[in-house]
Amino acid sequence: MSPKKTLPRTIVSAIDASKILGVRAGARSVHRFTGFWPIVVDGRVFGRSWSLKKGGWYRRFCEDPLGVLQVGQRTIRIRAVPVRSERLRDAIDAAYAEKYPTPASRAYVRGFRSQRRRDATIEFVPR
- Total domains in the chain come to 1
Q: Note whether residue 24 is domain-resident.
A: yes
For the stretch 101-116, pLDDT in tens is: 999 999 999 999 999 9
Pairing of β 21-25 and β 74-82 = unpaired
Domain assignment present for residue 51? The answer is: yes
Give dist(CA 50, CA 33) in Å, integer: 15
In a domain, 90, yes or no: yes
* Residue 27 in domain: yes
SS3 91: helix
CATH of the domain at 61: 2.30.110.10
Range of the domain at 111: 9-126
Instruction: Answer whether residue 1 is part of any domain.
Output: no
For residue 9, the one-letter residue type is: R
Q: Contact 122/83 with Cβ under 8 angstroms?
A: yes
Chain segment 46-95, per-residue pLDDT in tens: 999 998 998 889 999 999 999 999 999 999 999 999 999 999 999 999 99
